[in-house]
Amino acid sequence: MKNKLKWLVIGSMVLPSLLLSGCGGGAKPAANKEANGGANSNGGEVQNITVWEMYGPRRDFPKIIEEFNKTHPNIKVKDEYFPSHDALLQKVQVISSSNQKKPDAILYDMINVPITKELLPLEDLNTFIKNDSSFDINDFYPAFKDFGNLDGKQYSLHGYANNIVLFYNKKAFKEAGLDPEKPPQTWDELVEDAKKLTKDGQWGLQIDGITEKYFELLSWDFQSLVEENGGEIWNKDYTKPAFNSPQGVEALQFLVDLVNKHKVTTLNPPEKVFETGKAAMYITGTWMTKDYEDSLGKENLGAAFLPKKVQYATNIGGEEWMMVKSNDKEEQATWEFLKYMMSKDVQLQISKFGYIPTRKSVVNSPEYQAWIKEHPAYEVGAKQMEYGKYRAPITTYLQNSQALYKYVQQALYGKITPKEALDTAEKEVTDILATKK
Amino acid sequence: MMTTGSRFRLSTKETISGYLFITPSMILFFVFILIPFFYSFYLSLHKWQGGKIGNMAYAGFSQYSKALQSPEFWHSIVTTGYYTFTTVILQIVFGLILAILLNQKMIGRTFLRTAYFVPVVMSTIVVGIIWRWIFSPDKIGLLNSFLGFFHIQPIHWLTDPYWSMPAIIIMSTWKWVGYHMVIFLAGLQDIPQELYESASIEGANGWQKFRYITLPMLTKTTWFLVITSIINSFQVFDQIYVMTGGGPLDATNVIVYYIYKWAFQFYDMGYASAVAWLLFLVIFVITLLQLRFTRSDWHA
């Protein structure tokens, strides 16, 4: 009994301290120790860095990291993957208010850069770019360095890009008597072809935002439609919404008509509608290229620009790398890692999943040119970049997007008219901008 | 434990070891339940100023009045009520039927009891993903192809605002009916056989035995299940998160999902905490009412 009691006393003293150390305070020394690292086989010090990422071409990331760790014996990268941009932003929000060690590098949707800059102390990448002759910032397409350039500082750089394209099933085109090399180029042609492609068990056209629960998809599909119609989403300095214009209403009406009037699009698509051949055309991002090629076969997968009404337009996406401030040594190691992740080799590897390289030297390389010649569906997104638009680089982007999503969806389901939807959305977005300046 | 009479008084040593035994669980209780409980009340009196989640200013009870004036909040209450009312009735009716069937002497009884209980211990996330496929709107969906045998047109379970809540209710009933069955089985086995025997001698038929013996004897069990499953149903979240994300058109935007959205998608912890406290009040009042109405029955 006495012996048992002794163990109980010890247990009850140890357990709380274990528990407490698990909750914040005590974790700090451990993290510091890890950051300082141990010695490697070459005798030099190993610098540990932590990466939080929502890396699109997921399947290749462990391989790429392994390669980096092998070629950089003085740096050890610890990879922490998040299943969605939302989940990563949640973690960034939480850590911004805690004393815990922050990650060294973050990669996620470019649209989160402005808010992340508010939350975490981000390093100005220019301090490294200037002193590093092995890294040429001018090799990036202007658009990809401009987005992360806020108040004269380079807070982020595009790791890889994507945009929305029109995928189509060449086999379905042939069956409907359409030329598989001539995808629709205008809204009218889109409706016309979609009608011919719609039959029992097959929908003419599906749009990812209708199917997916993530609000951002429908919101950015709609934004592209407005721009295709010659409308704007915001005023010049992003202080006022501009989507509630005749062009905007017409764009939403077009989307609603696809479902209700032309009946070529369904609000109730089965799971994996395009992969299983139940939709002949599908509007979504280039990140799906590899998946679609795998399920439909290379010869059946076609891709085209988003059809225009007034002009070609598409929404640009992609993930941006950010560096969180730490100490010189740690930042230097992080920079080596970022440089590697944006290098020609890695970008080439990523492009084979349908992502668009952000550096001119990659696009112009013989390897990339040979790849797109062999796989024409991968080239469309890259070519379409020149018509691409950016989403608003403002901290409240996601709230505004949620509002837009909510009312666009209500219009799609016929609860309100497109005009009512955009009136309400405009009012809500104006409120969001006013309260969260 | 009784403490009347010196014979039962604990020795000091035993008191100490008693406290030591409960220390670990009390620490967990404090850190993960009690402190967050009061902290959320503190948060509910604050308003988020944008930027970091911790960036808040004192706002009194304004978050509560904001919630009470929000149509979306009331919509989520109505949605939750719809879910709770339907699920609780279905779970209790089917749980009772299953319990009575599986209380008979029959081959494979143990296997069937286990089989019905399996969904209870499965992760809701896993079950939700399986049911997404079962509910697939086309003819490839398992449920729709089954309905097809009866010439029922495919139903757009999860994407139609009218059907999405029934779909969630079907799935939740399927998942939790085993739990109700087990509790009812325990209740059934507590009923003395003599009651049935004497009823048989008096000439009662099966229905009469069920109506006048089984049902009244199960009152306590039933009320226990009603109370716990109302409380549980009010807090439904996982299914919604996996299967519909509150949509389409907020048709499944129940109160806890509404709280989640404000806390972890809009980062307004103050407002989310205020709504959470309103939910707490609702559940608290319901429980009090139930206890009041049921107490007299229990002693009857």
Distances (CA, A) of A101 to A33, A45, A78, A180, A284: 11, 20, 13, 54, 37
- Per-residue pLDDT band for B56 (boundaries 50, 70, 90) equals confident
Q: What is the pLDDT of residue A21?
A: 42
Q: Which residues lie across from A431 on neighbouring strands?
A: none
Which pLDDT value is given to residue A57?
A: 66
Residues of chain A contacting residue B54, judged by C-beta atoms under 8 Å apart: 97
**Cβ–Cβ gap B132/A271 under 8 Å:** yes
CA-based R_g, chain B, Å = 24
- Buried b / exposed e along B231-253 (16+ C-beta atoms within 10 A): ebbbebebbbbbbbbbbbbbbbb
* Whether the predicted pLDDT of A218 surpasses 50: yes
Average pLDDT across chain A, whole number:
85
Q: Is B214 helix (H, G, I), strand (E, B) or coil?
A: helix
Res A422 pLDDT > 90: yes
Spatial CA neighbour of A102 closest among A122, A132, A131: A122
- With CA atoms as reference, report the closest residue to A323 among A310, A311, A339: A339
pLDDT in tens, A352-373: 888 888 888 898 899 999 988 8
What predicted TM-score, i.e. pTM, was given to this entire model?
Answer: 0.78
Decide if pLDDT at B170 tops 80.
yes
Distance between start and end Cα atoms, chain B: 27
Report the distance separating Cα B36 and Cα B40, nearest Å.
6
- Residue-level pLDDT at A227: 92
- pLDDT band of residue A24 (cuts 50, 70, 90) is very low
pLDDT at A351: 87
Task: Name which of B133, B168, B156, B128 is nearest B253 in CA terms.
Answer: B168
- Rounded CA-CA distance B3/B163 in Å is 57
Residue for token pair 């998040």? A82
pLDDT digits (tens, 9 = 90+) for B112-162: 888 999 999 999 889 988 898 888 877 778 888 888 888 888 888 888 888
Q: What is the pLDDT of residue A33?
A: 40
Chain A residue whose CA is closest to B50: A436
> Where do runs of H (alpha helix) occur along A82-123?
85-96, 113-119
Give the minimum alpha-carbon distance from B49 to chain A in angstroms, rounded to a whole number. Answer: 7
pLDDT in tens, A257-287: 999 999 999 888 887 889 999 999 999 999 8
Predicted local confidence at residue A160, as pLDDT = 87
Q: B251 is written with which tokens? A: 């048709």
> pLDDT-based confidence at A23, cuts 50/70/90?
very low
pLDDT surpasses 90 at B97: yes
Average pLDDT of the segment spanning A160-168: 92
- Alpha-carbon distance values, A177 to A170, A180, A197, B249, B296 (Å): 11, 9, 9, 38, 76
- Confidence (pLDDT) at B87: 95
In angstroms, the Cα distances linking B130 to A11, A278, B242, B250, B288 are 43, 21, 10, 22, 37
Cβ separation of A270 and B137 shorter than 8 Å?
Answer: yes
Contact yes or no for A226/A250 (Cβ under 8 A): no
The verdict on B85 touching A (C-beta cutoff 8 Å) is no
Average pLDDT, chain B: 87
Is the distance from CB of A279 to CB of A206 less than 8 angstroms? Answer: yes
Asked if A271 lies within 8 A of B136 by C-beta distance, the reply is yes
Higher pLDDT, A32 or B245: B245
For residue B260, what are the contacts with CB-CB under 8 A and spacing of at least 6? B237, B241, B272
**pLDDT digits 0-9 by tens, A291-319:** 999 999 989 999 999 999 999 999 988 89
The whole-angstrom separation of Cα B245 and Cα B247 is: 5
The predicted structure's pLDDT at residue A303: 93
Interface test with B, best of A85, A219, A268 (most B CBs within 10 A): A268
Q: What's the confidence (pLDDT) of residue B300? A: 39
Supply the pLDDT for residue B297. 53
Q: What is the largest CA-CA distance in chain A?
A: 89
- Residues of B within 8 A of A97 (CB-CB) are 52-54
Residue B167, sorted as left (phi over 0), alpha (psi -120 to 50) or beta, turns out to be: alpha
Minimal C-alpha gap between B159 and chain A (Å)? 5
Percent of chain B with pLDDT over 70: 94
The string of pLDDT tens digits covering residues A113-136 is: 888 988 898 898 888 888 888 888
pLDDT digits (tens, 9 = 90+) for A143-158: 777 788 888 888 998 8
A381-410 pLDDT tens trace? 888 988 888 888 888 888 899 889 989 999
CA torsion, points B124, B125, B126, B128, in degrees to nearest 10? 80
Q: How far apart are CA A350 and CA A362, in angstroms?
A: 11
Q: Which of A327, A287, A314 is nearest to A390 (CA)?
A: A314
CB-nearest to B137 from A8, A9, A268 is A268
Paired tokens of A143: 């658009």
The band of A223, judged by pLDDT with boundaries at 50, 70 and 90, is: very high
pLDDT score at B146: 87
* B140 contact residues in A (CB cutoff 8 A): 270
Q: Label the pairing between strands A203-207 and A279-285.
A: parallel
Cβ atoms A267, A413 nearer than 8 A: yes
B241 touches chain A (CB under 8 A): no
Which ipTM did the prediction report? Answer: 0.71
Q: What tens digit of pLDDT does each residue of A176-213 get?
A: 999 999 999 999 999 999 999 999 889 999 999 887 77
The Cα–Cα gap between B113 and B95 comes to 11
